[in-house]
Structure 1
Amino acid sequence: MITRLQLSGYKSIKQLDIRLESINIFLGSNGVGKSNFISLFSMLRNLYQGNFQNYVEVKGGADSILHFGKKHTNSIELDICFGSQARDNNRFIVEFESAQDSLNIKSIDTAFLEPIHNKWHQKNFERNVKESSFADISYGQAFYVNDYLQEFDVYHFHDTGDQSPMKGKCYVDDNYRLNRDGSNLAAFLYFLQEKHPKHFKRIEMTIRSITPFFDRFVLQPSRLNEQYIQLEWKEKGFPDAYFNSYHLSDGTLRFICLATLLMQPEPPKTIIIDEPELGLHPVAVNKLASLIRKVSKKSQVIVSTQSINLIDNFEPENIIVTDRKDNSSTFRRLQSDELSSWLEDYTLGDIWGKNLFGAQPYNM
């Protein structure tokens, strides 16, 4: 997992040096930088896939990514340490520099710390390149960190409108991993049903625990075109009625996506979710917190939130307070000892509401 992340010059983040744990709940008001921190992983994912220039263009060019634009900042520097809590075994170091309306990759290095001789082995990549080619074997893989970078997906199941990709049909074989927007939800659940039935049944049970009318999924390829599949299900008491994803509430559909992501047999090494509590009933938020705690035993979880309900389910050490100071985002992990007297009578959410540790809009 990521043990330490150092970053400068990125969006609202002028300077950052933070240790990350198994559970990292970024808490703050609107506009303080939570989503900016989360978006860093989307940028790294596109870097790994060789899509960096397109990503920069879609996001509005260098001005939208550099701290207060290229007039104030000309480069972004990032250093990520991976490994166990006791020792940081792998590093990924990259520097981007301003280039007209875009960003160039000035340098990329990966490194592995050999534990026996305590020696760093470093791999340097070509300088002044416009694209990264980590996934291209002919270029020479960044093998020290590839397993991590290729899983840096930011999951956001916000789009549940009538045109949402998770509501329509998808290719039945699109089931290697759950897509970041849930667009292959039906295919992935079908894969779990056929290959991991125990996990699939647990997902159904969890959905029933917060959605009393839900009975079970009905998942099979389309009778008219077996290349496609759609999310179908049965309601309790109506075995002959037909229901699909269009008949689910927005919150229920989001929770199905979250439960599938967090309860799959082999979850990503790093699970990054932007505001997962949106549209969820408080009971569902509590269940979500339980799933996060459970999956954190084998995966690192990074979440941004504004939910009192959600943080009430965690320890202070799980919470990273996000604020703005001197026109820059700040990040601070809470400690139980600084809140011990308050926690005797109040929940963590109550304490946040009393503005005792920040993460409020009137602190800016």
Structure 2
Amino acid sequence: MQLRSMSAANYRSLRAIRMDIAGVNLFIGENGVGKSNLYRALQLVQAAVRGNLAHEIAAEGGMSSALWSGPRREEKNFRIKFEVELIDEERAIIFRYRVEAGLRPPAAAGFAFEPQIKMEELSIETGSRPVTMMKRAGPGIMVRGERGRMEEYPERALASETAIALLGDAGHYPEIGTFRRAIDGWRFYHGFRTDRDSPLRQPCLAVTSPLLDEDGSNLAAVLATLTHIREDTVELDRAIASAFNGARLSVPPPGVYADFGLIFPDFPKRVFQPRELSDGQIRFLGLAAALMSYRQPPLIALNEPEASLHPDMLPPLADMVAGAAHSSQVWVVTHSEQLAESAEARCGTRPRRVIRRDGATWIDGMRLTGAMDNETE
């Protein structure tokens, strides 16, 4: 399933924004305009589906930090709101999910600054009108049962847990399970650590790894899977040679642990180990594994992937983004004009310039409906 649109309201710098989502989505803008908040809004939708929305918001400072940061009217029920729309083109089904979270009422149970889930709804559309599959207001949950009727779910949700996670774990609602699996498959790469103890630089257990972990801790296993199980590294070899002036990847057959290194043209008989590589080199290898893994996730989101990269590495990175777009939706947040231009040239998608409008994050040239003027998809 593909993400077709997303909206967010009252979250940090996102006062109220809705946008249509393309196959490749490039976001560029100055510091402080809210590019990362758009990225983070999608992460929080995934957190809601996984059942850890409260934990994620608490980790970023609680509701007092997450709520819209600009001036607002006095509203009795001021809430963060997220909504996504996914389409299953093969079965012609549209899934819509929305969730709203607010502060704890003064006399209610719960911790003061953790989010309280106020409303959730999942609907599907296969014809002329949407059909509600699940709806939650407060602790009570209504769900469409096997007979096609809305019925009360016997378990009441805690104020800080999401109903969609609770129902999905129950295993009795196939539409909810299908939607959850699609969202759960998204991958977010918010930079990689590149210090001496970075997970990217460490050997890892030799276990077949079709996807890169979000912290990059299984990088060696992903590269070994591509080399020794898929036995096809043509595109990966091309990207590495282009980024590193003809260098090539060395991945020995793994034993208990998987490892890798690089061989440079000036030192053809020596393998440079991960601990010897520069920050930019090890970060590029992490991005290569994220974008070229054995099995591609439905959505790959990269937040400022250009960090630490030499400018010569940006065109090869754009090549990898274009390659990944054949099987995944790609979301890239960047400061780099060069990366945005290179990706546009290869993907045919115009970068979306993120700006501040009346203090809120907005996309230059975007209509209120979420469509972009003269955008090529």
Per the alignment, residue 92 of structure 1 pairs with 97
User: May I ask how many residue pairs the two structures share in their alignment?
Assistant: 331
Is residue 77 from structure 1 mapped to residue 48 from structure 2 by the alignment? no
Cα offset, 1:329, TM superposition = 0.8
Per the alignment, residue 108 of structure 1 pairs with 120
Per the alignment, residue 301 of structure 1 pairs with 330
CA 1:213 to 1:101, structure 2 compared with 1: closer, same or farther past 3 Å?
same
Cα offset, 1:229, TM superposition = 2.8
Q: Could you tell me how far apart the structure 1 residues matched to 2:249 and 2:29 are?
A: 37
Per the alignment, residue 45 of structure 1 pairs with 46
Three-state SS of the structure 1 residue aligned to 2:198 is coil
What does 1:248-259 align with in structure 2 at a 5 Å threshold?
248-259=277-288
Task: Choose from 161, 167, 178 the match for 1:131.
Answer: 161
Q: Could you tell me how far apart the structure 2 residues matched to 1:65 and 1:139 are?
A: 33
Q: Could you tell me how far apart the structure 1 residues matched to 2:225 and 2:297 are?
A: 16
CA 1:163 to 1:265, structure 2 compared with 1: closer, same or farther past 3 Å?
closer
Per the alignment, residue 13 of structure 1 pairs with 14
CA 1:70 to 1:102, structure 2 compared with 1: closer, same or farther past 3 Å?
farther
Q: Could you tell me how far apart the structure 2 residues matched to 1:140 and 1:103 are?
A: 26
Three-state SS of the structure 1 residue aligned to 2:202 is coil
Aligned-residue CA RMSD (Å)? 2.9
Q: Deviations over 1:200-244 (max 9, x none)?
A: 34312320122136233223435xxx2x33333434464553431
Per the alignment, residue 199 of structure 2 pairs with 165
- Residue type of the partner of 1:94? V
Contact 1:157 1:182 in 2 (8 A): no
CA 1:108 to 1:176, structure 2 compared with 1: closer, same or farther past 3 Å?
farther
Task: Choose from 195, 205, 214 the match for 1:180.
Answer: 214
Q: Could you tell me how far apart the structure 2 residues matched to 1:337 and 1:237 are?
A: 48
Cα offset, 1:274, TM superposition = 0.2
Three-state SS of the structure 2 residue aligned to 1:147 is helix
Could you tell me the percent identity over the aligned residues? Answer: 24
Per the alignment, residue 225 of structure 2 pairs with 191
Moved more, 53-62 or 10-19: 53-62
Contact 2:95 2:124 in 1 (8 A): yes
Contact 1:12 1:329 in 2 (8 A): yes
- Residue type of the partner of 1:311? A
CA 1:165 to 1:293, structure 2 compared with 1: closer, same or farther past 3 Å?
same
Task: Give TM-score scaled by structure 1 length.
Answer: 0.81
Contact 2:251 2:259 in 1 (8 A): no
CA 1:63 to 1:69, structure 2 compared with 1: closer, same or farther past 3 Å?
farther
Moved more, 66-75 or 44-53: 66-75
Task: Give TM-score scaled by structure 2 length.
Answer: 0.79
CA 1:137 to 1:236, structure 2 compared with 1: closer, same or farther past 3 Å?
farther
Cα offset, 1:299, TM superposition = 1.4
Structure 2: tracts of 5 or more residues without a match: 105-111, 139-157, 367-371
Q: Deviations over 1:24-80 (max 9, x none)?
A: 111110010001111122222322222222222211111121112899773112221
Per the alignment, residue 359 of structure 2 pairs with 327
